[in-house]
């Protein structure tokens, strides 16, 4: 797990630790000291802690004018034992919505498992952004994670359609990823 780094090719466009509006503003990182763990496994020091012991993040991009953020996740999303959605909501999302972000793209390629509890924090998050035409999209989550989220009705609040898997986000610039997702959402609503 220590070799899985957050996506770094957008650092020319955005760095959360340099963003005065970011919850991670002025955060210092080490390339050599591995101190954070998920269970007994060290993780790369570039991942950001937001309160969960099993789920870490990296805000890859935020645009306050266009009101969107792209957030990569790593670990086990465990609402049952650690209430990770509450930690994510309070430690990161609430701070970003306070700065005007209402559209969230969650990249979940490195989310290994999902363990559900209830959906109250998902519903609260959705209610917080709905009036700003906001949305939450889960992109490239593993099939078994999506299946578990759907079985717990999380898809009522977090969009996780099959078409979103088609966006090859690593090959695009952040605004192009955002435009591709908005285009897919517009098409799915129009159908």
Tens-binned pLDDT, residue by residue, of the chain (191 aa):
788 999 999 999 999 999 999 999 999 998 788 889 999 999 999 999 999 999 999 999 999 999 999 999 999 999 999 999 999 999 999 999 999 999 999 999 999 999 999 899 999 999 999 999 999 999 999 999 999 999 999 999 999 876 566 678 999 999 999 999 998 888 766 54
pTM assigned to the model: 0.95
Beta strands at 37-38 and 41-42: parallel, antiparallel or unpaired: antiparallel
Phi, psi of 12 (to 5 degrees): -70, -20
Distance from CA of residue 163 to its chain's centroid? 18
Pairwise CA distance, residues 189 & 191, whole Å: 6
Domains of the chain: 16-28+51-190 (3.30.750.24)
Beta strands at 103-115 and 41-42: parallel, antiparallel or unpaired: unpaired
Pairwise CA distance, residues 59 & 174, whole Å: 12
Instruction: Work out the burial of residue 28: count CB atoms within 10 Å of its CB; fewer than 13 is exposed, 13-18 middle, 19 or more buried.
Output: exposed
pLDDT value of position 2: 80
């Amino acid at each position: 797990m220590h070799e899985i780094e957050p996506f770094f090719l957008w650092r020319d466009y955005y760095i959360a630790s340099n963003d005065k509006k970011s919850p991670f503003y002025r955060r210092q990182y080490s390339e050599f000291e591995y101190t954070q763990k998920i269970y007994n496994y060290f993780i790369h020091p570039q991942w950001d802690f937001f309160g969960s012991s099993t789920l870490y993040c990296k805000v890859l991009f935020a645009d306050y004018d266009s009101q969107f953020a792209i957030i990569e996740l790593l670990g086990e999303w465990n609402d049952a034992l650690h209430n990770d959605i509450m930690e994510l909501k309070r430690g990161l999302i609430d701070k970003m919505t306070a700065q005007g972000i209402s559209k969230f793209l969650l990249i979940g390629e490195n989310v290994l498992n999902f363990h559900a509890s209830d959906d109250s924090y998902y519903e609260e998050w959705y209610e917080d952004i709905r009036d700003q035409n906001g949305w939450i999209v889960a992109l490239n989550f593993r099939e078994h994670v999506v299946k578990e989220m759907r079985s717990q009705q999380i898809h009522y609040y977090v969009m996780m359609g099959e078409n979103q898997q088609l966006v090859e986000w690593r090959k695009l610039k952040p605004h192009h990823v955002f435009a591709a997702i908005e285009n897919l959402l517009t098409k799915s609503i129009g159908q």
